Chain A
Amino acid sequence: MTPSTLSKPSSQWRIPSLSWPWRITITYLSLMLFIPVTAMLLKSSTLGWDVFWQEATNEVALAAYDVTFITSLIAALINGVFGTLVAWVLVRYNFPLKRFLDAVVDLPFALPTSVAGLTLASVYSDNGWVGHFFAANTPLGSLFGSEGLPISFTRLGVGVAMVFISFPFVVRTVQPVLTEADVDVEEAAWCLGASQWQTFWRVIFPPLLPSILTGIALGFSRAVGEYGSTVIIASNLPFKDLIAPVLIIQQLEQYNYTGATVIGTVMLFISLILLFLINLLQAWGRRYDQ
Chain B
Amino acid sequence: MTSKPTSVRSPHQSSWMKGLLIAVAAAYLFLILLLPAANVFVQAFIKGMEPFLSNFNDAAFIHAVLLTLFMAGISVPLNTVFGLCAAWVIARHQFRGRALLISILDIPFSVSPVVAGLMIMLLYGRQGWLGPLFAQWDIQIIFSPPSMILATAFVTMPFVAREVIPVLEEVGADQEEAARTLGANDWQVFWRVTLPSIRWGLLYGLILTNARAMGEFGAVSVVSGNIALKTQTLPLYVEDAYKQYNTEASYAAAVVLAALAVITLIAKEVLERKTEIKDVE
Seen from chain A, the residues whose Cβ lies within 8 Å of a Cβ on chain B are 19-22, 24-25, 28-29, 32-33, 35-37, 39-40, 43, 82, 85-86, 88-95, 97-99, 101-123, 128-130, 163-164, 167-169, 172-173, 175-176, 179, 183, 187, 190, 196, 199, 215, 218, 221, 224-228, 231-232, 244-246, 248-249, 252, 257, 260-261, 264, 267-268, 271-272, 274-276, 278-279
Contact = CB atoms under 8 A, between A and B. Distances in A.
B32 A92 contact: no
A245 B17 CA distance: 42
Contacts of A232: 239, 242
A111 B239 CA distance: 14
Interface stretch (B173-181, B195-203, B212-220): B212-220
A278 B107 CA distance: 12
- Of A25, A252, A260, most B-chain CB atoms within 10 Å: A25
A102 B113 contact: no
Contact of B261 (A35, A99, A107, A118): A107
B103 A275 contact: yes
Given A24-B85, A271-B110, A36 B217 contact: no
9 contacts: A25-B89, A35-B123, A101-B29, A111-B37, A227-B217, A248-B114, A264-B118, A267-B114, A268-B111
- 5 closest A-B pairs (Cβ-Cβ)? A112-B215, A225-B112, A227-B218, A228-B217, A36-B119
B33 interface: yes
Q: Which of A89, A111, A163, A245 has the most CB of B within 10 A?
A: A111
A85 B242 CA distance: 35
A260 B127 CA distance: 14
B232 to A, nearest CB: 12
Given A114-B235, A163-B32, A272 B110 contact: yes
A24 B112 contact: no
Nearest to B103: A279
A102 B110 CA distance: 25
Interface in B153-182: 153-154, 157
Contact of B35 (A97, A99, A129): A129
B5 A94 contact: yes
Contacts of B89: 21-22, 25
A24 B87 CA distance: 12
Contact of A43 (B86, B122, B186, B254): B122
A179 B211 CA distance: 28
Interface stretch (B18-26, B50-58, B133-141): B18-26
B114 A245 contact: yes
A72 to B, nearest CB: 11
Contacts of A33: 104, 107-108, 154, 157
Contact of B111 (A20, A168, A271): A271
Interface of B: 1-6, 9-13, 17-18, 21-22, 24-26, 28-29, 31-37, 39-40, 43, 78, 81-82, 84-86, 88-89, 103-104, 106-108, 110-116, 118-123, 125, 127-129, 150, 153-154, 157, 186, 208, 211-212, 214-218, 221-222, 234-236, 238-239, 242, 247, 250-251, 254, 257-258, 260-262, 264-266, 268-269, 278-281
B257 A111 contact: yes
A110 B264 contact: yes
A165 to B, nearest CB: 10
B217 A114 contact: yes
A118 B28 CA distance: 20
A104 to B, nearest CB: 6
B112 A267 contact: yes
B1 A271 contact: no
Nearest to B267: A110
B40 A274 contact: no
Contacts of B125: 257
B145 to A, nearest CB: 16
A227 B114 contact: yes
B249 to A, nearest CB: 11
B258 A122 contact: no
Given A111-B261, A196-B17, A119 B217 contact: no
A108 B37 CA distance: 10
A145 B278 CA distance: 45
A181 to B, nearest CB: 11
Nearest to A160: B32
A24 to B, nearest CB: 4
A43 B262 CA distance: 42
Nearest to B241: A118
Nearest to B21: A89
Contact of A257 (B122, B154, B212): B122
Counting chain A CB atoms within 10 Å of each CB, the highest count among B114, B122, B269 belongs to B114
B39 A32 contact: no
A111 B235 CA distance: 10
Given A25-B82, A40-B122, A227-B114, A110 B261 contact: yes
